[in-house]
Amino acid sequence: MRLKVSRSKNSASLYVTKTVYVDKKEKTITVEKLGTEKELREKLNGQDPYVWAKAYIDKLTKKEKEAAGHIFIKRSQSKLIPKGDQVSFNGGYLFLQQLYHDLNLHHICRSISERYKFSFPLDSILSRLVYGRILFPASKLNTCQLSKTLLEQPDFEIQHVYRALEVIAKESDFIQAELYKK
């Protein structure tokens, strides 16, 4: 960052500018307008505005450099990953989760669960089935297994999926009616 002084007939304005590269072209942007020379002299009680502005710009530059620090993660290629440990997770369903909640499917599942009073999480099962059918179309068993690779781990077993499918089939008209209202 640097100081730019724009002089006119009656005053001089001080600006903090910075050079950035956009599409392989150099572009100068104004970061902050400090004010006119006269305003700064009044504000700084007679102190030289140019000296103050240079010190202020040095402080801003230091802050920017600290914020843009590099992070190094050390990895060892020879270290083995223990069998059964999961080190990568699938986060592709997160945008679908927003749609799922926008359609209020979680509220629909809650009202169905209150009517039937079963112990398995219908909302979790339905959401995983929806995400699975869109992201990785597969059988119900494979969808249940693949949902274990998502960021949020499932809290149900495969038998819960089959029980939930019976309830979803019975309540399909209710689910469609609620979705149509939305």
Model pLDDT for residues 88-99, shown as the tens digit of each residue: 777 788 888 999
Specify the pLDDT at position 16: 93
Specify the pLDDT at position 57: 93
Mean pLDDT of 154-169: 91
pLDDT at 86 over 80: no
Q: Is the pTM of this model over 0.85?
A: no
Specify the pLDDT at position 33: 93
Specify the pLDDT at position 22: 86
Give, to the nearest 10 degrees, the angle between helix 94-102 and helix 105-116: 70
Specify the pLDDT at position 82: 86
Which residues on adjacent β-strands are paired with residue 4? 15
50: closest CA among 63, 60, 29, 35?
A: 35
